[in-house]
A and B are shown apart, each in its own frame.
Chain A
Amino acid sequence: MNTWTHYHLAKTVDDALQALSSTQGETRLVSGGTDLLLDIQQGRMPAPELLVDLTGVEEMRCLELRGAELFIGAAVPLSRVAESPLVAEHARALTEAAGLIGGPQVRNVATLGGNVGHALPAADGTISLLAMGAQAEVAAPEGRRRVDLAALFAGPGQSNLDRRREVLVGFYLAARQPNEGSAFARVMRPQGVALPILNMGIWLRREGSRVVDVRVAVGPGGPRPHRSAAAETCLCAGEFTPERVELACKALLEDTRFRTSPQRATAAYRNHLSGVLMKDIIQRAWVRAAGQA
């Protein structure tokens, strides 16, 4: 059994789209491939006839400010994301998440595109991008479009992207204003699979002693990467105080359904940890929003 039959190193997004349309057989897009290639090798996914490698597409390896937005190409290796001063300035939650994904060698090839494309509900890259309110640029034969990140997820491991004809080009994040800040953290179990028991990313905008806008993303809080509207509403409903944070921790549990995963964590433990993480992360985001980075 070969992991693939044909391998195409795409030079441009159009080249990749064309390659996708060139065969009726099973095709897969690959960037780092640190999840995908293992899924194929270990039989969780059929071996494709064609792999289209995106790591040589310049546009998708681009990481730069574009006007009031930060663009991160879907094929930028995570090590570059983690070490980028631009990302650190504008999206600290993403810096913190990217530095935790895999190990150093994996991060030299693994990408945010793969992390999001895999559509797992608790992927560190995905959760932090969701907290950052990222939009995704998607290329299809009929043209390009921008969608909210959340729109890409259909279910656990299920993406709404049509992988036979669409390419995830990259992500746009709003450049940081001085009164905005973000943070990310996770809790692991030392045994077993390298997936977090719980991870959380928060972005917020503060005015005076209040949070006026906030995004709280948490995984695994449902079949898809999850944002807690209840916690977000609660955090904006009054002065930013320890009591408000306590209320937000409770609110989060209203619209977030943590599950019990055998051998990993019970729902009760996750409920508890969500409060621990929330308090830590929101405090750090709050401090950063005071311009203290």
Chain B
Amino acid sequence: MDSSPEIHLIVNGVPHTLPALPGEMLADLLRERLGLTGVKIGCNECECGACTVIVDGLPVLSCNYPSQRADGKSVLTIEGLAGLMKSQDGQPHLHPLQEAFVLHGAVQCGFCIPGQIMTAYGLLLQNDNPDSDAIRHALKDTLCRCAGYPTIERAIQAAALAMRTGQAVQAPSLPQSARPRNEVGRHHIRPEAVAKVTGDALYSDDITFPGLLHGRAKRAMHPHARLKRLDVEKARALPGVAAVLTAADIPGDHNHGLVIPDWPTLVGIGERIRYVGDSVALVAAETREIATAALELIEADYEDLPPITSAVQARQPETEAIHPNGNLLKHIKVRKGDMEAGFARAEVVLEHTFHTQITDHAFMEPECSVAHLSSDERMEIYVGSQIPYSDRAQVARALCWDEEKVRIVGMLIGGGFGGKEDITGQIHAALLCRATGRPVKVLYDRHESLLVHPKRHATQIRVKVGALRDGQLTAVETELYGDTGAYASLGEKVMTRATTHSSGPYEVEHVRADCYAMYTNNPPAGAFRGFGVLQSAFAVESIMDMLAAELKMDPVELRRRNALRVGSVTNTGQKLTESVGLLECIDKVDAEMRRLGGPEPFKPVSVPEAPHLLRVWGFAAAYKNTGLGGGAPDKAGAEVEVYPNGMAEVRTSSAELGQGLVTVLQLVAAEELGMPAEQVRVLLSDTDLTPDGGPTTASRQTYVTGNAARGAAKALCEAMTAYIAEKYDLPPDQIRFVEGLAQLPGGLKAIPVGQVAAEMSADGRPPRALFEYWAPATKPLGQGGDMHFAYSFAAQAAQIEVNTLTGEVKVLRMLAANDVGSAINPLGLQGQVEGGIMMGIGNALTEHFIVDNGRVVTDRLSRYRVPGIALTPEITSFIVEHPTAEGPFGAKGVGEVVLIPTSPAITNAIFNATGVRVDRLPVDQELILREMGRFA
């Protein structure tokens, strides 16, 4: 019945004849049969564009293109693109698009990049000079969660120009640090970018082993229930199934968890199901299809229990407790001053309650773990994880093995944003591998990814502010309810951050904040870029504008009046002694906003040719801690080694999620070693080869791991200096390292560091240094003093357009200023700022993870709107540098503060346009229109 038992197709210029396979999509053929793993699967449902390839000149989604349809056709993948550019020497060269993506910093985590480049290639085939509209049209549905859309657009235009003119691809002009050093603070391309634009970059799903089995988990799909019966015999009997495991088969600890081990790896018979994503059994089979079929054969009976669906409900006394210690994970308190006195002094008091939604990280690369037993019977797990050492500990505990018998090997990570901190498939893969003795891959499809991993906390925030007529805040009282879902994850930490930041980046004499972090039967909530502060900032920045309106005061002026500055005392009792650039951030954004929008930027203006469109600005400010804080020991280890070939290597287990850590560590080490950046490479995330860098979270990598790399580089310089001084009998203080050479005094010839390394090795003195950096100690909440060792500050203004006929809201422009201490890696910083703003826009306007009575409605990417290039406003970024003395070259964290003010800046603008105060995210265009009285 098949047209042909064979498929004849040309891939990247090479003819192939392959047997037709039932149900096979082109992406599977390319990835699995031809090994072209540059074709990425982000959603497998035609939503993300990562799998885009060119078929007979047109970009198509290969994940949903039957491979038999490609019969007789010609296919081009990212791997073939460089091959198109063979020059006279016969070597493949990067295509101008690939080159431009690298140069312009359009490559971050890299997972979407093959799809971006192939989509752009399809565009350039039809249009050799695309303008912004053409690019936005063509790339509309090719999603980038790092959201480097502005740089993607610039890169495509630079490539198109190069192709039209035959000239080299032009590099971007980019704001650098105001105080650049030899390497730090200057424009450097990302070391791993080339592999990411050629398709050579390997993510976990791109690797395989001989005899690989495919593991899957049976999900309960009941939000709250008791598992009454489980029968896995039929699944076990299915041909091709290698193992079926239940809770009884776990040799070690049954629970995992980053802080509290309350999350069952598998729920056992008689035990409680706490959310739809709980697992009850695991299957390993020869193929993913067989594993999926086996899941269907597992019989499970549940006794359903009424689900707890909100944090407020969870705290009511009559609500059943779903954990032994009750539903209250933590009551978090901030106390400063005397609330009665504060409100008594106030001339104006306002109170309002706000709600924020659950959102999903929607990193483009779904979770994948591959477990493999090494020849010496150690468990190796290949995974893109934000906390490799925690993975190792948790896997070891589940297996009941020594930690030394487990090795986590970090693969490239296709985005994390906090969503790859908790264990996902790592333990499952290890259990199946141990049981079968064979390598096992546990890959989540997008559906499973959406169901299972922790989300952003839905939060209810009541804010009450008191102020004098002149705008001075006298008291701020907040009450938060955070929905941490079924398991603790990092819920306590997230909600602590939400609480301590809930009175905003302002100095207030009297503060009281209470937060109830509650367990519910919703999917767990944990770390997500912004870490609770996104939620409370929405509330406090909204009420700041409400207060400004009440006081008839300019909202920017109100913020200036109260802004934290050097010498201020925060609501947790911390005296800020340095590096508080908030006022400069506010001033920079304010000046630019008024330059563009005139003296009254908050007054709406209608578009002359379309009077139903109102344009106006909105403003917000924010701060965010760098590092763990709150008394947690915050340390990172790093090792630096110089090799006889003159290369240096920095090693630490911290994770590159796309944020640019590799470049930061490269530059910091190069600066300290006196070497060109190109001679420094970075190895991350391998528990056998790299020292523990701690969790990649809390905007802490540049500061904490950066300092570890710097310390190790410094120690190595000292060791090399001592060696040279000894060997050549020179005063150590006259030996300098410059441009990869040890410069010696007295007219002696400089020695290349590679030679120093060779000589040291030969003399039995390894040319490497290990350094463990301990960040300044912090105090737990409630004890006053320094709760955090640094804060970053930001201000943003949004210009929006509201359609007063439909309620639709569009963001036209964003202005952002971020005090980052000092800009170590300007290209990476630009990616963080632009990507953060896009994530903030998503949080305000498009993203809504819907759970209905404990059941996940948003279980496909088609139901979750990640902002695409078409929603990208014009973004202007100002770098503010108030150095922090202890940070590497003055730097502090930037990854999170960049998105915190975006949502309230937009909703404040909506109020300015319509008079409607959005107090619930995401913005509901229907509600705006209804409250404007446009319909009943």
Contacts and interface: CB of A to CB of B under 8 A. Distances in A.
Interface of A: 1-9, 19, 22-23, 30, 33-34, 37-38, 41-42, 47, 50-51, 53, 55, 79, 102-106, 108-109, 187, 189-194, 263, 265-266, 268-269, 271-273, 276
B865 A191 contact: yes
Given A193-B862, A272-B929, 14 more contacts: A2-B23, A3-B25, A6-B22, A19-B1, A34-B61, A105-B52, A105-B142, A106-B61, A108-B60, A189-B925, A191-B865, A191-B922, A268-B930, A269-B926
A104 B59 contact: yes
Contact of B66 (A37, A42, A193, A266): A37
Given A53-B66, A103-B140, A190 B925 contact: yes
Nearest to B58: A108
Contacts of B864: 192
Contacts, number: 137
Interface stretch (B262-270, B780-788, B842-850): B842-850
B863 interface: yes
Given A5-B22, A7-B66, A263 B289 contact: no
Contacts of B71: 9
B45 interface: yes
Contact of A192 (B58, B138, B848): B848
A104 B138 contact: yes
A185 to B, nearest CB: 10
A51 B46 contact: no
Contacts of A2: 22-23, 289
Contacts of B22: 2-7
B331 interface: no
B935 interface: yes
Given A194-B862, A269-B926, A105 B69 contact: no
Chain B CB within 10 A, most for which of A8, A104, A108, A271: A104
Contacts of A108: 58-60
Given A102-B141, A103-B140, A263 B934 contact: no
B95 to A, nearest CB: 19
Interface string B796-828: 000000000110110000000000000000000
Interface string B1-21: 111100000000000000010
B321 to A, nearest CB: 30
Nearest to A195: B862
Interface string B849-881: 010000001101011110000000000000000
B913 to A, nearest CB: 16
A272 B20 contact: no
A127 to B, nearest CB: 18
A213 to B, nearest CB: 27
Nearest to A108: B58
A276 B44 CA distance: 36
Nearest to A55: B69
A33 B848 contact: no
B60 A105 contact: yes
A23 B216 CA distance: 34
9 contacts: A34-B61, A34-B64, A104-B119, A190-B845, A190-B865, A190-B925, A268-B935, A268-B936, A272-B934
A37 B1 contact: no
Contacts of B61: 34, 105-106, 109
B258 interface: no
B691 interface: no
B68 A53 contact: yes
Nearest to B806: A187
B468 interface: no
B691 to A, nearest CB: 43
Given A104-B138, A105-B61, A33 B66 contact: yes
Given A2-B22, A53-B66, A192-B850, A105 B925 contact: no
Contact of B60 (A109, A192, A268): A109
B293 interface: yes
A6 B1 contact: yes
B68 A105 contact: no
B27 to A, nearest CB: 12
